[in-house]
Structure 1
Amino acid sequence: MGIITTRQPIFDRKQEVVGYEVCCAIRSDRLFAFENEIGNTLLLIGLNRLTGGKRAFVPVMGEMLLNDDSLSLPELSIVIEILKCLDPVDILIDACAKLKSAGYTLALGDFVIRKNLSSLFDLADIIKIDIAGLTIEEERALIDNRPNGSIKFLAARVETMEQFEDSFKAGFDLFQGYFFSEPIVVSGREIPGYKLNHLRVLNEVNRKDIEFGDLDKIIRQDVTLSYKLLNFINSAFFGLRYNVSSIRHALDLLGEREIKRWASLVILCDIGKDKPLELLAASLVRANLCEAFAPQVGLEAKSSELFLMGLFSLVDILVGRTMKDIMDEMPLATDIKSALCGEDNKFRKLLNLVLHYERGDFESFLRYASEMDINLGTVTDHYLASVERAEEALQLYGPQKVSLGAFRGN
């Protein structure tokens, strides 16, 4: 027996992440089924490890609602999602009332509207609506008819920026889907100058033939990089007993491999400062996960390159150019560039494995895992460790995160 789990971001109207929907499945031999005892699962793996302190939106099945002992999760950190109606409905109303009295925030499915269950509106904090196939007029009609002004509406399956914009205009408060990672290509003139400058530095840092003297010069010419490098090397993370005041000394301590990774991460954080923070988080999780799987797929010697592949997997969205255009200018290994441009190779297979896992497409993930002989018993630990390392990196280099208190259901 084993568990695999992933998370899907939920955004507010500022495109800031306020929580994650938790997706879990349980493994028996090599078969998976969705996990009903999700409360015990989250307690087992550790809630904060998965959500980074943000709220967990937890889908709850009917059987779990009827079991008074099955929900033992901290109510202030949880949004209970009930997406299907129970029959008779009185059972559901009683269950929701108990959850509300226990302090939980409730997100109910659109069955509440379709069945006109007015008794549940008073208990709901959030109404979650699958917008796939709805017109903006239909979305607006749902919002305009909300019976309780304090209820928030969550648009699910928002996969494109057009859908996000329509749902935003319709009045939705929260959004779930991968619209934030849809590539939007803009003309060269529209790309901010600082992004083009950062790309040039990124190209220089990742040159194969670069020497420490060149790295020293590149970093010293960039005030932001210089400051962040010295701040990083003198942080408690290293625990040095002396102060490092020289860029060259910092480079000697870190080594070429680590300085390239560090510089790439810091530069991407600067490039993406006008984008949702989740893009950077997703890039880092992918990078860490690709690196973690390297030994299992016979690419341990390429682990650093696999890290860079994951890190750059969303660079087209951060910059606003096609991946091919960016890769044509980047001095990365051919395997990385080919994989990021969608060509089929061993690097791309690993990236596909990670992408399917990220999106909770466990069926496709299992197919790739079987082909690549991935040890399924290690997957959740690798994923949680990747999330934790991404959170730590963003605390060091990224913009301020949204705190847990930034969102309440009412």
Structure 2
Amino acid sequence: MLATLIPLFDDKMSVCAYSVFARKENHFLNPEMEGGARYDGAGTVHELEVVSSMGMSMLSGGKEVFVPVNQFSVFAEISLQCTVPANKVVLLMDNSITPEPNYVKRVKELKMQGYKLAIRKLPISSFEPYKEILNQCDYILLNHAKIDIEKAKIYFGKVYPKIKLCAVNVDTKEQYDMLISHGGYDLYEGGFFRMPVRESETEVNPLKVNYIELLNVVNAPDFDLTDAADVIGKDPALTISLLEIVNRMALNSEITSIRHATAMLGQKELKRWINTAVTKELCADRPTEITRLVMIRAKFAENLAESFEMSLLGQELFIMGLFSAIDIMLGKTMKEALDMVLVPKDVKLALLDNEGPFAPVLNFIKRYEDADWTEISRLMVLGNMDMTKIYDAYLSALRWYRDLFPVTVTG
């Protein structure tokens, strides 16, 4: 199976929910499954496996997660497959679920069980026939290019006042700006939001300069631990974080200084910790989705090393993923940002020119994040990659992020 998380945003570019996109089979290897895949494992909601595996704490602030169901899986024993709170799960239906009595009854049952409901791929002509199902829905996903939002606001405000409108296929900043200026939508989803961007800064603030200095120290060949310790000592938050990590390691010895702490970690672990901790700080004034995306992308890249026959280059691939949004972190162009930090040559080639040995890994990850399963399937066949290993690599990255930055789930 393949699966990824797609964020849904509000008009302030804050992540409000995620949608799980999954495919069970590689249709290039099993072409006969493409038309009939939906019927295989009809009693299983495969996307719930992803949600249950990673846990709700993986989703920033315990956000809701949209999980697709079809005309068969809607009748599954969903409560037995779902290990997260029902009120955090939005069961996403499509027009394969018709407004017939057996479906209407099942939808009402799921609502009574505490699940939230959403529907997509519903043409305007079906709004009235679907009245009983729409009355149970919390969200409706609309293709903004095929809907008159002014008329939709009036219609839904009058007939279904509790339903939230979600614009899908929003792929450019221009489309987004136009939609929010008109209002009416509660959530937005589209390619534009895979890497949310805000206005650039002309200068990098002093604290970020300190972080960049630290990145350059630890990414230099055979760096000096004392140099890293001296830069860490300039930032109280990093100092506290470092001491907390080392104190867990040194149960029977006293840590006497920051230099002592860095020596305890050693070059390899210190480098890994600094790259992740500093990246989090660089993202601190940006949408939290960027932190989530680059951290998961970094670990996913490292986990893919074996599949791309780069087992010895996992650390470099990790850095590539981590710095893939360095332009947004610093409010610079990618070239300007990479001129400020020290990164391996192949990482720079991939990020700046989409060239070199690491570029295929980065392109694969971006396609995966977009749930472009057709292209991902093709690349797996060409590279003789095992789908289970790819899926495990992604789930492992999700769990790593969950454990790295645990959050408290509310409500």
TM range (shorter): 0.7 to 0.9
Paired with 1:8 and 1:54, the residues of 2 have a C-alpha distance of 12
Residues 302/242 of structure 1: CA separation in 2 closer, same or farther (3 Å cut): same
Determine if the alignment matches structure 1 residue 265 to structure 2 residue 276: yes
Q: Identity over aligned residues, as a percent?
A: 26
Asked whether the equivalents of residues 39 and 72 of structure 1 are also in contact (C-alpha less than 8 Å), the reply is: no
Q: Residue in 2 aligned with 1:403?
A: 409
> CA offset at residue 317 of structure 1?
1.9
Residues 6/217 of structure 1: CA separation in 2 closer, same or farther (3 Å cut): same
Structure 2: which amino acid aligns with 1:225? Answer: L
Paired with 1:183 and 1:38, the residues of 2 have a C-alpha distance of 40
Corresponding residue SS for 1:341: helix
Paired with 1:19 and 1:47, the residues of 2 have a C-alpha distance of 16
Determine if the alignment matches structure 1 residue 164 to structure 2 residue 176: yes
Listed as ranges, the matches of 1:280-299 within 5 Å are: 280-299=291-310
Q: What is the aligned counterpart of 1:154 among 166, 191, 198? A: 166
Stretches of structure 2 lacking an aligned partner (at least 5 in a row): none
> CA offset at residue 48 of structure 1?
4.6
Determine if the alignment matches structure 1 residue 212 to structure 2 residue 218: no
Q: Residue in 2 aligned with 1:115?
A: 126
Corresponding residue SS for 1:298: coil
Paired with 1:288 and 1:5, the residues of 2 have a C-alpha distance of 16
Q: What is the aligned counterpart of 2:69 among 57, 60, 66? A: 60
Paired with 1:114 and 1:71, the residues of 2 have a C-alpha distance of 33
1:126-165 CA-to-partner distances (Å, cap 9, x unmatched) read 111122466xxx3343234322332222222233344334
Residues 76/187 of structure 1: CA separation in 2 closer, same or farther (3 Å cut): closer
Paired with 1:152 and 1:132, the residues of 2 have a C-alpha distance of 18
Q: What is the aligned counterpart of 1:370 among 381, 385, 395? A: 381
Asked whether the equivalents of residues 43 and 73 of structure 1 are also in contact (C-alpha less than 8 Å), the reply is: yes
Paired with 1:168 and 1:38, the residues of 2 have a C-alpha distance of 39
Residues 327/132 of structure 1: CA separation in 2 closer, same or farther (3 Å cut): farther
Residues 243/369 of structure 1: CA separation in 2 closer, same or farther (3 Å cut): farther
Paired with 2:43 and 2:247, the residues of 1 have a C-alpha distance of 42
Asked whether the equivalents of residues 45 and 69 of structure 2 are also in contact (C-alpha less than 8 Å), the reply is: no
Residues 76/390 of structure 1: CA separation in 2 closer, same or farther (3 Å cut): same
Paired with 2:168 and 2:410, the residues of 1 have a C-alpha distance of 21
Q: Residue in 2 aligned with 1:194?
A: 207
Structure 1: which amino acid aligns with 2:298? Answer: A
Structure 2: which amino acid aligns with 1:232? Answer: I
Corresponding residue SS for 2:304: helix
Structure 2: which amino acid aligns with 1:47? Answer: S
Q: Which moved more, 1:195-204 or 1:118-127?
A: 195-204
The Cα RMSD (Å) is 2.9
Paired with 2:121 and 2:2, the residues of 1 have a C-alpha distance of 28
Paired with 1:229 and 1:359, the residues of 2 have a C-alpha distance of 35
Q: Which moved more, 1:30-39 or 1:334-343?
A: 30-39
Determine if the alignment matches structure 1 residue 225 to structure 2 residue 238: yes
Stretches of structure 1 lacking an aligned partner (at least 5 in a row): 396-400, 406-410
Residues 365/116 of structure 1: CA separation in 2 closer, same or farther (3 Å cut): closer
> CA offset at residue 347 of structure 1?
0.6
TM-score, length-scaled by structure 1: 0.84
Asked whether the equivalents of residues 198 and 286 of structure 2 are also in contact (C-alpha less than 8 Å), the reply is: no
Q: What is the aligned counterpart of 1:253 among 257, 261, 264? A: 264
Determine if the alignment matches structure 1 residue 141 to structure 2 residue 151: yes
Paired with 2:76 and 2:225, the residues of 1 have a C-alpha distance of 62
1:298-338 CA-to-partner distances (Å, cap 9, x unmatched) read 32221111110011111212222111211123221110000
Structure 1: which amino acid aligns with 2:149? Answer: E
Asked whether the equivalents of residues 99 and 133 of structure 2 are also in contact (C-alpha less than 8 Å), the reply is: no
TM-score, length-scaled by structure 2: 0.84
Count of residue correspondences: 391
